Amino acid sequence: MPRAVRWAVGGLGDLMVTAGLFLLLFVAWQLWWTDVEANRAQNGTVQELTRDFAAAPPSAAPATTQPRPVAFGTAFAILRVPRLGDDFARPVFEGTDYETLKKGIGHYEGTAAAGGVGNMALAGHRTTYGRPFHEIERLRAGDKVVVETRTGYSVYAVDRHVIVPPTAVEVIAPVPEKPGAKANGSWLTLTACHPKYSAEQRYVVFARLLDTYPRNEGLPVGTLDVPAKGA
């Protein structure tokens, strides 16, 4: 093989190795470092919301009192899911665009408020950017899901889950999976990509409202207890 050809082949090999290293570094950044940064930011937002809620004037108003319109991209609630750990607390922002979901869980615009009649629909990453719904498949029927807002707490219980294509927008209808039906109850819907590391489908969890509690009452004892292993 001529020397020039050997140099060309060797140079091409070096370029491919370098490109491979850059690709591995990008994957590491995408799957690990974005989580580190996002988790730090989301924890900070939860702390800010907690202080803000605590500083609000005491009120016995129902937890379902409709809040003032929330500006797009603004954090307004905290989602707590005991099944995912006693420290699971993620901020909920208005909107579900790419930039908003990098900051935490997103609330589909136009869907119900926490505890309100209709369907409060939320979306979250399953991988990257803090991956709040990474283990959404662990949720079981009866598991508690709590949405905390400035006015109080809305406690839901998981009803069921489905796996659907991304086009199945009926899952966030006022009556889940029944587009056009009039809202006759209070639902919470959680959506995430499925399977992990893919956006081919959506993993969707539906939960029914159990009760609401004004902030001055607090949550009943045991609401945020982590379910026993195997339960």
pLDDT value at residue 122: 98
pLDDT by residue for the chain (231 residues), tens digit each? 565 544 544 455 545 544 444 444 444 445 556 778 888 999 999 999 999 999 987 665 555 555 568 999 999 999 999 999 999 999 999 999 999 999 999 999 999 999 999 999 999 999 988 999 999 999 999 999 999 999 999 999 999 999 999 999 999 999 999 999 999 999 999 999 999 999 999 999 999 999 999 999 999 999 999 998 877
Q: Residues 126, 203: contact at Cβ < 8 Å?
A: yes
- Give the three-state DSSP class for 229: coil
Backbone angles phi, psi at 46, to 5 degrees: -60, -40
Q: Has 215 been annotated as catalytic?
A: no
Please give the Cα distance from 50 to 206 (Å, whole number): 26
Catalytic residue among 80, 107, 194, 202: 202
Q: Has 193 been annotated as catalytic?
A: yes
Q: Where are the domains of the chain?
A: 52-214
pLDDT value at residue 228: 87
**CATH level 3 topology of 52-214:** Sortase; Chain: A; (2.40.260)
- Give the three-state DSSP class for 201: strand
Cβ neighbourhood burial of 170 (10 Å; 0-12, 13-18, 19+): middle
pLDDT value at residue 36: 81
From the CA atom positions of the chain, what is the Rg in Å?
Answer: 22
pLDDT value at residue 118: 97
Catalytic residue among 125, 126, 131, 215: 125
Catalytic residue among 150, 193, 194, 215: 193
Entry field: residues in the chain: 231
Determine the residue type at 206.
Answer: F
